[in-house]
Amino acid sequence: MGHPVLRTKARALSPADVRTAELQTLIDDMIDTMVEYRGVGLAAPQVHEGIRLFVGDLGARDEEDADAEPMVLINPEISPVGPEMVEDWEGCLSIPDIRGKVPRYRDIRLRALNRKGERIEMRAKNFSARIIQHETDHLDGVLFFDRMNGFESLTFLEEYSRYWAKREDDEEA
């Protein structure tokens, strides 16, 4: 946090841009970085590249898709499917060791290019929809705490683990 690229709207890529060796190397490096830091998503502005690209582990909480390759999404366009929003915890590799509750649409429709420059369309719900919305925000210069309704839940990761996660586990039991 603090680098100007994180607060700047990223530029779109053409299908020809996508097929360059340099961009394919960047994609591979971003996937390696996301995995190394145990993230579920990483947008190009987070590695100081002002382009509309992110990688995401959209099967992160789904045991059936646990071995799925991370998705590469370029020039994403999202639209909500219905008005339902859910407030849940988020963190960010650009704001290490901080968590906060963020409202997001539960169900979205996504249009984007894949890493081959091909147009894809999909629907995402719950945690996958949250990842896509969070990473698309990065492409628009928005950080997760900009979306929070208030800062009452903003907490350090250690305190989240100590107090908030325990409280929610107790409520679910």
Out of 77, 121, 135, 172, the active site residue is 135
- Average pLDDT for residues 88-104, to the nearest whole number? 95
Q: Mark whether 135 is an active-site residue.
A: yes
- 69 has pLDDT over 90: no
Structure tokens at 86: 């859910």
For range 132-140, the mean pLDDT? 98
| 167 pLDDT higher than 90 | no
Q: Looking at per-residue confidence, does 59 or 95 come out higher? A: 95
- Whole-number percent of the chain with pLDDT over 70: 91
CB 33 within 8 A of CB 25: no
Q: Is residue 66 over pLDDT 60? A: no
- Residue 57, C-beta contacts closer than 8 angstroms, at least 6 positions apart: 34, 39, 40, 41, 68, 70, 71, 131
What does the pLDDT read at residue 129?
A: 97
Architecture of the structural domain at 4-172: Alpha-Beta Complex (3.90)
User: 43 is written with which tokens?
Assistant: 């947008």
Q: What integer pLDDT is reported at residue 68 of this predicted model? A: 74
> What CA–CA distance (Å, rounded) separates 140 from 41?
15
Q: For strand 107-113 and strand 119-125, is the pairing parallel, antiparallel, or unpaired?
A: antiparallel
Q: Mean pLDDT across the stretch 41-62?
A: 91
**Would you call 67 helix, strand, or coil by DSSP?**
coil
The predicted structure's pLDDT at residue 161: 87
**What's the pLDDT score for residue 73?**
98
- How high is the pLDDT of residue 59? 77
User: Nearest-CA neighbor of 138 among 35, 65, 36, 34?
Assistant: 34
Prediction pTM value: 0.91
Which of 57-92 are b and which e, b meaning 16 or more Cβ less than 10 Å from the residue's Cβ?
A: bbbbeeeeeeeeebbbbbbbebeeeeeeeeeebbbb
- The pLDDT confidence band at residue 64, using thresholds 50, 70 and 90, is low
